[in-house]
Structure 1
Amino acid sequence: MTSLEFETEDMRPVKAWCTEHEVHVTLADGRTISAPLWWYPFLSGLDAEALNDIELMYEGIWWSRVDEGISVKSMFLGWKAPGAQAPEKAA
């Protein structure tokens, strides 16, 4: 599957937001996808306002405050950003 086959009008983000532990994106076709916030270390340290200061792009979402973004494709395929480490689970 090529990139052009993956990114379609139906997969365009129409809404995005962050909760304490996840990034959520609603797509043009009505689906909502989510990924753990820890997958994106460049977002660590941002407060709730900054986490939700998101720009929608055709293929993904962008945080101008950190000059970083993620693609819908990477969320679907489970691609984590470089340096992503799962949090330690409490014993």
Structure 2
Amino acid sequence: MVSEVDITDESLSVTMRDGRTITVPLAWYPRLLNASPAQRKNWRIAGGGYGIHWPDLDEDLSTEGLLRGAPSPHVKNP
């Protein structure tokens, strides 16, 4: 389950309640890449604790997809 989300200009890091951290390139998620810092910080835990939702961006990510290394379908050749 998600406990924390940290976004830099280069990466998205999701910390899980079991202590694991998943870090992926921010370029995989164009909506987050192009968002303002305030929009990036406005996230909510979704999907029973296994997803993240950014209401300002209408962006949703699942921890399953992050663990698989699955970029946004809008990204070519990640």
Identity of aligned residues (%): 30
Which aligned pairs between 1:7-26 and structure 2 lie closer than 5 A? 12-26=1-15
Preserved contact between residue 9 and residue 33 of structure 2 (Cα < 8 Å): no
Which aligned pairs between 1:23-62 and structure 2 lie closer than 5 A? 23-57=12-46, 58-62=49-53
Q: Count matched residues.
A: 76
* Consecutive aligned runs of 4 or more in structure 1 exceeding 3 Å deviation: none
Partner secondary structure for residue 13 of structure 2: strand
Give ranges in structure 1 of 5+ residues lacking alignment.
1-11
Query: 1:85 Cα shift?
Result: 3.9
One-letter amino acid matched to 1:53:
N
2: CA distance, partners of 1:68 / 1:46: 11
2: CA distance, partners of 1:32 / 1:80: 17
- Residue of structure 2 equivalent to 1:70: 61
Superposed CA RMSD in Å reads 1.6
TM-score between both structures, scaled by the size of structure 1: 0.74
2: CA distance, partners of 1:49 / 1:42: 13
